[in-house]
Amino acid sequence: MGDPTQLLYLEPDDEITSVVRRLREADAGRVVLVAPGRSRVTTSAVALRLLAGVAADDGRDIALVSDAAGRALAAEAGIDAFPSVSEANAENPMPPEPPLARRAAIRVVRGEEARVATLAPRDLAGSGDETMAIPVARPVPPPRADPPARPARARRRALSRAAVGALVVLLLVAVAGAAAVAPAATVVIRPVSVPIEPVRYTLTLPAAGVDEDELTAQTQGTATGVFVDPSPATGTVDFSNWNTVDVLVPAGTEVAAGDVLFVTLADVTVPIGFFTPFAPGEASADVQAVEPGPAGNVPSDAIDRVVTDGVRASLRGLPDNPNRLVRNRDATAGGSENRQPQVTRRDVNAAADAIRADLADQLEGALTDAPGMLYGEVEADEPAIDIPDDLVRRRGEETFTLGGSLAYRRARVAADDVEGAARDRLLDDGDVTPPGRSIVEDSIEVEVRRVTRRGGNVEVRVTVTSLAEPIVDAEAVRGAVAGLTEPDAERALADLGNVEIDLWPGWVDRVPQLEWRIDLQVDPAVAASAQP
């Protein structure tokens, strides 16, 4: 056959023969008869039992969607009956009440009296009929004699009993007809779902694993400082003694070439001259510049003054002696700054910052996310940088090398586990659902805000949002609208969502008082923003 389920909609005036023909022409293994309101077929137990027999002969299942009265008759005929199409089309349809055991099938057997009379007991047993009407040969009546005349009173009693029986039949027909044409109503409710306030939960789940490693980095720094270790200039000077006695020039005696001072490095005695005062005595002494540096490098014959007063007076002899007392025959030399590279604290800090940046880049590249996993915050130690104690102010080297390391850990958890735990937490939380409503499970959304490792577990903070739809109580709905006008009934059910009420027949202006004449249908919920 074709599709597994096919819907056949019945009209109020459909004849049983028309429905049987449509049922036989159906191309499905299961047929659902939909009777919106009353119809001839659904108000006749005989018709429904006949439909059940036709379906059984064709090897197909049959179900009925009707009001309470129609469902009761269907149950007597052994047909599954439902109050709505959605319930009849469910994946595993289950009628609100199990169908009653089918009554005996009705079958009329026609044939020759002789053929019927000769049927063997096994032929009857194998026919499969629970009830069978079998015509038999009529007995040959005896010769009719003229009946005696009946008394008049007996004739009147017989007529009275016949009249009562006819009246009962007429009453039963009237009641059945009234039930068939009694007003009915179809109430269609489309529940409107509303958003609930976002809820925040802290979930504790076992960690799916922990990513951990230790990264290393190395960099070369440059010494930008300068260390100056100046050297003093040195040389030799000759002292002239114009005195008539030998003169001692002690170490440390100052001599000068302009503003540049020199000192003698050892004691020296300058003898008297020959033919004094015409030829002075002379003695040489090594000198060194007082201030180190290239300024002490003076040319020859530049040192021309004895600065130390006592020595100068002794060498002069006479106070007004204008002759020169000291000179350097050769230029002094060796005075220099001796500039050398030196590592500063700033150089070390710059190299350490470069290592930290390198480790941070490595960490970012190492944090790759696997599909379907949520990761906690990175737990990283401070970068460990090895700085030698003597590195700052180290001189003589233009570059230096630094190294460092970084250890990190990061916990992970499956995203499906988090979403499932959050959904279960919301569904179990009775404080968030408004009274009279239930959570629409398909609308639940989970936003992960933070994942933190707690030993072997992870703590996940989430925000959960969803929609809540009204709970429709069929019995309460029928009781609330029975006997109301259509506008009043719609207002009475307004809190449940969008309501449509169809009254039958068209001249009826109120919902029937008989609740079993009210057919309730609940469509899928719609979001509040989707309302017209």
Domains within the chain, CATH numbers bracketed: 5-88 (no CATH), 209-223+341-413 (3.30.110), 230-327 (no CATH)
Task: Return the pLDDT at 211.
Answer: 87
Which single residue is written with the structure tokens 């000198």?
A: 287
Which single residue is written with the structure tokens 């003229």?
A: 146
Cα dist from 520 to 23, 65, 179, 406, 471, whole Å: 26, 11, 19, 69, 14
The pLDDT profile of the chain, 532 residues, written as one tens digit per residue, is 545 788 888 888 788 888 888 888 888 889 988 887 667 778 778 888 888 888 888 888 899 888 888 888 888 888 998 988 888 888 778 777 555 544 444 444 444 443 333 333 333 333 334 444 434 344 445 555 554 444 555 555 554 565 656 665 566 545 455 555 689 999 999 998 889 889 999 999 999 888 889 999 999 999 999 998 899 999 999 999 999 899 999 999 999 999 999 999 999 999 998 765 568 999 999 999 999 999 999 999 999 999 999 999 999 988 889 999 999 999 999 999 889 999 999 999 999 999 999 999 999 888 888 899 999 889 888 899 999 998 998 988 889 999 999 999 999 999 999 999 999 999 998 888 888 888 988 889 999 998 998 888 999 999 999 998 888 989 889 999 899 998 998 888 988 888 999 999 888 889 998 889 999 999 887 776 544 4
- Report d(CA 98, CA 95) in Å as an integer: 6
By three-state DSSP, how is residue 299 classified? coil
Tell me if 282 sits within 8 A of 239, measured CB to CB.
yes
User: Which secondary structure element, helix H or strand E, spans residue 202, and what is its range?
Assistant: strand 199-206
Count the helices and strands in the chain (H runs, E runs): 12, 26
Task: Return the pLDDT at 126.
Answer: 37
Tell me if 410 sits within 8 A of 378, measured CB to CB.
yes
Task: Return the pLDDT at 132.
Answer: 42
Tell me if 511 sits within 8 A of 503, measured CB to CB.
yes
Tokens describing residue 473: 């109580």
- Report d(CA 305, CA 324) in Å as an integer: 8
- Report d(CA 388, CA 466) in Å as an integer: 60
Alpha-carbon dihedral 120, 121, 122, 125, rounded to 10 degrees: 130
By three-state DSSP, how is residue 365 classified? helix
- Report d(CA 303, CA 234) in Å as an integer: 12
